[in-house]
């Protein structure tokens, strides 16, 4: 009986595997009609040895010359041999149809079972055509545009053979010292959740089997951005309320949006490394949220549990990680070396290996790799697709929408189009690499449009350029940009001389694109190096300065805010950066971005965020004593708050109305507000809705974003914007350890930033 069953399942599996070959595609089509996905997966699994199942859980970095001679010794030779034995489930950092095809061919044609590989890569903000860094895209608050940007990145990446991106990073981040804030959506769980969904939908599309869609990966699960003192990879110790209410929401939203993979993280969370964390991966992710894709470790993070002091060796690390629910091992070689033995020793259940392998195989089926493992391997399509014009047009649009106008006095902006004498100052103004930002590993250096080039395309004015000062020292290695130039001021005199006679001085200052990102934490978040001094020296001879900031994190620039009349936040905007900046400076695009992260006055205020708690000793307007929650040398308020951003026009909010003052159960309240364009340009405004739960079983923030809508208004035009408040709006993780709405009084605030709002009250009864 048992044998018969085995024979039958073997036959089923052979049919499925035969689908790898296009010759058998008719059989596979007929088969797939009568057989649901899970059965297909199981039928493959039944054919696999324990070692082959473990192989599916193994991911290697491809660093050797793939289409060159076969590696004969060292790590590369071992990886190559494992690949041929069917002991690799996925590769990362292999790109280009030629290389991908070469490896896929080994997996499909030379291994016993011919199971195709997944090819992962960090397509974080574009593949070769680079869009703004994710933090900048978040500043657009434009979900359709963000989705389009991810879809475009997926199309370009898929054309070079990739089928999986390690994005989006959905870590909520409150600490600008942490370099990876550039890779996320900022500080707010509501905005962060919306953006997570937009990006996942963009990458994965409607149909994972289409050749222009790829797998997305929600990362880093969880708490990575809460590294103590903003130092990357540092300890994370946060309570349940922060974890549930702030950190988890974008991850949960990612599961609900159908993300197919998750990545865990380097950090420990309350004493347990995330990679070996059962609570996170088994209880929350796979249990409560019912995530049915798979979890990949972060790079070497299984092995890093030894350094954490949580595993004694790589073998124990493998045991802990798999038991905790980490399905795939990225570059620790812990699984491939030890899991089979651990099963034999009874320390790991084979059913847990089966579960992990099943999840990975299922995703491979969903991608269509069993129907056509070379789906992503078409050299002609690759040639037609990479860098195509439509991508450049799309990243330009995204870049314009990501710019935030922080200050504009004396109507310095928009710039006049003719008859003016402008001088452009700053090494970043002429830089064609920095605007690509961090995490753009497939893009070629020197391929971004610089600000100088963007401004030169406007011919009506006299424009000169002077560097002033380098942002970084040296230019030799990949890491050079992290060395900030703190000494070389030899370019100052030329910059000062040029500024003297100009109508307007445009200064492009900030961080080089590789001064933020992974491993790039900073303790000083002012303008790096001698740039602050350069700004002050130029200001002395000509205060008509437009400061264009390039940066991957909020900067503390109080002096600039006090003195410089116009400040434009232009982040690192990608391939079309210079064109986007020029079009905004000249008013061909009216800036509409809003900050997704608070800008402090002083690094000492960090972590600073809009949704803080009131404390028992909140802000006093006219303090009578020193005993309240404040600093004696700095204000509590930020320099620029979350949600803030100006336009060349002005908007006025009025007539905030609630259709009723209370609701209960599944009822709702409609909130409406009139927004009028009172300025002289057409413009877009992001109308934001916040609430405050005044008394609750767990203290609630002074404000929480719960809705937003972007509207476009002509001069003098008024629009009524409506929001719905219901039970979902007011739910949070309560003292009962569950998400629910609690009765009581609430404030509602509506406005163009988290600070400038008009408000009303309502009540919720159960
Ligand atoms: C990062 C991940 C990334 C991985 C693979 C790690 O260092 O933390 O976000 O996806 O490398 O490149």
* 687-726 residue pLDDT tens: 999 999 999 999 999 999 999 999 999 999 999 999 999 9
Mutate to test the pocket of ligand 1, among 297, 517, 518 (most ligand atoms within 8 A of CB): 518
The ligand 1 atom at the shortest distance from the C-alpha of residue 166 is: 10
- List 42, 142, 188, 298, catalytic entry: 298
Can you give the pLDDT at residue 479? 55
| 745 — pLDDT class (breaks 50, 70, 90) | very high
Token output for 390: 């439509």
How many helices (H) and strands (E) the chain has is answered by 24, 26
**Ligand 1 shell residues, CB under 6 Å:** 122, 166, 219, 298-299, 518
pTM of the model: 0.95
| 483 — pLDDT class (breaks 50, 70, 90) | confident
User: Residue 121 C-alpha to ligand 1 middle, in angstroms?
Assistant: 9
Q: Is the dihedral of CA 481, 486, 492, 496 positive or negative?
A: positive
Q: Flag whether pLDDT at 244 surpasses 70.
A: yes
Percent of the chain predicted with pLDDT > 70: 94
The ligand 1 atom at the shortest distance from the C-alpha of residue 169 is: 9
Q: Flag whether pLDDT at 10 surpasses 50.
A: no
Q: Flag whether pLDDT at 429 surpasses 90.
A: yes
User: Residue 298 C-alpha to ligand 1 middle, in angstroms?
Assistant: 6
| 476 — pLDDT class (breaks 50, 70, 90) | very low
Mean pLDDT of the chain: 94
Mutate to test the pocket of ligand 1, among 61, 167, 298 (most ligand atoms within 8 A of CB): 298
Q: Flag whether pLDDT at 472 surpasses 60.
A: yes
Q: Which fold has domain 394-605?
A: Rossmann fold (3.40.50)
| 475 — pLDDT class (breaks 50, 70, 90) | low
Neighbours of 726 (CB within 10 A): 15
Using only C-alpha atoms, the chain has a radius of gyration, in whole angstroms, of 27
User: Residue 484 C-alpha to ligand 1 middle, in angstroms?
Assistant: 24
Q: Flag whether pLDDT at 18 surpasses 70.
A: no
> Nearest-CA neighbor of 530 among 427, 651, 392, 680?
427
Q: Flag whether pLDDT at 574 surpasses 90.
A: yes
Mutate to test the pocket of ligand 1, among 62, 120, 166 (most ligand atoms within 8 A of CB): 166
Which residues of the chain form CATH 2.60.40.10?
651-765
Over residues 187-210, the pLDDT tens digits come to 999 999 999 999 999 999 999 999
- Yes or no: say if 705 and 191 are a contact pair by the CB < 8 Å rule: yes
Can you give the pLDDT at residue 133? 98
Please give the C-alpha separations between residue 726 and each of 58, 305, 504, 659, 664, in angstroms, as whole numbers.
45, 44, 50, 13, 9
- Provide the edge-to-edge strand list for the sheet that holds 744-751: 662-664, 757-765, 744-751, 683-693, 704-713
| 64 — pLDDT class (breaks 50, 70, 90) | confident
User: Residue 299 C-alpha to ligand 1 middle, in angstroms?
Assistant: 6
What are the phi and psi torsion angles at 56 (to 5°)? -65, -25
DSSP state of 302: T
- Yes or no: say if 172 and 245 are a contact pair by the CB < 8 Å rule: no
User: Residue 300 C-alpha to ligand 1 middle, in angstroms?
Assistant: 9
Which residues of the chain form CATH 3.40.50.1700?
394-605
Tell the residue nearest (CA) to atom 11 of ligand 1. 299
Is residue 298 annotated as a catalytic residue, yes or no? yes
Token output for 458: 């406007």
Over residues 502-531, the pLDDT tens digits come to 999 999 999 999 999 999 999 999 999 999
What are the phi and psi torsion angles at 381 (to 5°)? -60, -40
Tell the residue nearest (CA) to atom 6 of ligand 1. 299
Q: Flag whether pLDDT at 25 surpasses 70.
A: no
Tell the residue nearest (CA) to atom 12 of ligand 1. 122
Mean pLDDT for the stretch of residues 561-578: 98
Over residues 213-228, the pLDDT tens digits come to 999 999 999 999 999 9
Can you give the pLDDT at residue 619? 77
Can you give the pLDDT at residue 5? 32
- 3-state SS, one letter per residue, for 118-159: EEEECCCCECCCECCCHHHHHCCCCHHHHHHHHHHHHHHHHH
DSSP state of 247: I
| 26 — pLDDT class (breaks 50, 70, 90) | very low
DSSP state of 287: I
Of 9-18, 189-198, 304-313, 662-671, least confident by mean pLDDT is: 9-18
Residues with Cβ within 8 Å of residue 457, at least 6 apart in sequence = 579, 582
Can you give the pLDDT at residue 35? 60
The ligand 1 atom at the shortest distance from the C-alpha of residue 93 is: 12
Q: Which fold has domain 651-765?
A: Immunoglobulin-like (2.60.40)
> Nearest-CA neighbor of 725 among 766, 690, 674?
690
Distance between CA atoms of residues 612 and 608, nearest Å: 8
Percent of the chain predicted with pLDDT > 90: 90
Can you give the pLDDT at residue 570? 99
Can you give the pLDDT at residue 481? 60
Tell the residue nearest (CA) to atom 2 of ligand 1. 298
Over residues 315-368, the pLDDT tens digits come to 999 999 999 999 999 999 999 999 999 999 999 999 999 999 999 999 999 999
Mean pLDDT for the stretch of residues 384-392: 98
Tell the residue nearest (CA) to atom 10 of ligand 1. 166
| 66 — pLDDT class (breaks 50, 70, 90) | confident
Can you give the pLDDT at residue 478? 54
Beta strand 566-569 with 404-408 is antiparallel
Mean pLDDT for the stretch of residues 76-94: 96
Can you give the pLDDT at residue 361? 98
Can you give the pLDDT at residue 473? 84
């Amino acid at each position: 009986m048992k044998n018969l069953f085995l024979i039958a399942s073997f036959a089923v599996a052979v049919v499925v595997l035969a689908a790898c070959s296009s010759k058998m595609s008719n059989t596979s089509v007929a088969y797939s009609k009568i057989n649901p996905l899970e059965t297909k997966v199981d039928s493959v699994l039944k054919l696999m040895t324990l070692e082959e199942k473990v192989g599916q859980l193994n991911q290697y970095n491809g660093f050797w010359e793939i289409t060159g001679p076969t590696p004969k010794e060292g790590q590369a030779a071992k990886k190559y041999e494992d690949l041929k034995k069917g002991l690799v489930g996925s590769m990362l950092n292999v790109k280009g149809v030629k290389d991908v095809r070469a490896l896929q061919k080994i997996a499909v044609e030379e291994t016993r079972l011919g199971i195709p590989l997944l090819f992962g890569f960090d397509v974080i903000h574009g593949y070769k055509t680079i869009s703004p860094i994710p933090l900048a895209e978040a500043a657009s608050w434009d979900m359709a545009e963000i989705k389009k940007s991810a879809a475009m990145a997926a199309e370009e990446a898929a054309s070079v053979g990739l089928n999986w991106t390690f994005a989006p990073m959905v870590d909520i981040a409150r600490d600008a010292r942490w370099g990876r804030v550039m890779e996320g959506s900022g500080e707010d769980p509501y905005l962060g959740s919306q953006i997570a969904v937009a990006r996942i939908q963009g990458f994965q599309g409607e149909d994972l089997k289409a050749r222009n869609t790829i797998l997305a990966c929600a990362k880093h699960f969880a708490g990575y951005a809460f590294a103590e003192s903003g130092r990357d990879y540092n300890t994370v110790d946060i309570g349940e309320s922060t974890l549930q209410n702030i950190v988890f929401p974008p991850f949960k939203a990612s599961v609900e949006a159908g993300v197919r993979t998750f990545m865990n993280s380097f950090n420990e969370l309350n004493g347990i490394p995330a990679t070996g964390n059962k609570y996170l991966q088994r209880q929350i992710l796979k249990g409560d949220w019912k995530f049915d894709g798979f979890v990949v470790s972060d790079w070497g993070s299984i092995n890093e549990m030894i350094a954490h002091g949580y595993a004694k060796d790589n073998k124990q690390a493998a045991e802990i990680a798999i038991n905790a629910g980490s399905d795939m091992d990225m570059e620790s070689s812990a699984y491939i070396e030890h899991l089979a033995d651990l099963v034999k020793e009874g320390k790991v259940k084979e059913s847990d290996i089966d579960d992990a392998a099943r999840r990975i195989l299922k995703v491979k089926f969903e991608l269509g790799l069993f129907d056509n493992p070379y789906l992503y391997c078409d050299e002609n399509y690759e040639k037609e697709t990479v860098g195509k014009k439509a991508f450049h047009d799309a990243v330009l649009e995204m870049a314009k929408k990501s710019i935030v106008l922080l200050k504009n006095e004396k109507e310095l902006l928009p710039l006049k189009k003719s008859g003016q004498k402008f001088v452009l100052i700053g090494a970043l103004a002429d830089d064609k690499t920095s605007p690509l930002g961090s995490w753009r590993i497939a893009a070629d250096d020197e391929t971004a449009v610089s600000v100088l080039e963007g401004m030169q395309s406007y011919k009506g004015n006299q424009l000169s350029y002077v560097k002033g000062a380098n942002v970084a020292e040296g230019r030799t290695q990949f890491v050079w940009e992290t060395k900030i130039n703190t000494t070389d001021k030899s370019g100052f005199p030329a910059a000062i001389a040029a500024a003297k006679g100009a109508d307007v001085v445009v200064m492009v200052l900030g961080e080089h694109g590789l001064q933020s990102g992974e491993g790039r934490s900073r303790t000083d978040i002012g303008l790096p190096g001698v740039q602050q001094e350069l700004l002050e020296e130029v200001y002395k001879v000509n205060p008509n300065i437009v400061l264009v900031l390039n940066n991957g994190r909020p900067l503390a620039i109080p002096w600039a805010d006090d003195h410089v009349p116009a400040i434009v936040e232009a982040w690192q905007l990608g391939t079309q950066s210079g064109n986007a900046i020029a079009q905004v400076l000249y008013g061909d695009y009216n800036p509409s971005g809003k900050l997704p992260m608070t800008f402090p006055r002083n690094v000492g205020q960090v972590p600073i965020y809009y949704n803080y708690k009131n404390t028992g000793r909140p802000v006093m307007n006219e303090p009578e004593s020193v005993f309240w929650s404040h600093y004696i040398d700095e204000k509590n308020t930020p320099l620029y708050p979350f949600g803030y951003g100006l336009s060349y026009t002005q908007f006025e909010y009025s007539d905030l109305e609630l259709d009723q003052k209370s609701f209960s159960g599944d009822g709702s309240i409609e909130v409406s507000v009139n927004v009028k364009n009172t300025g002289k340009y057409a413009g877009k405004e992001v109308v934001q809705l916040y609430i405050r739960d005044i008394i609750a079983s767990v203290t609630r923030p002074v404000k929480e974003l719960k809705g937003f809508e972007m509207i476009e208004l002509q001069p003098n035009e008024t629009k009524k914007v409506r929001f719905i408040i219901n039970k979902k709006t007011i739910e949070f993780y309560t003292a009962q350890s569950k998400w629910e709405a609690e009765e009581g009084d609430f404030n509602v605030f509506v406005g163009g930033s988290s600070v400038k709002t008009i408000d009303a009250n309502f009540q919720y009864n159960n």
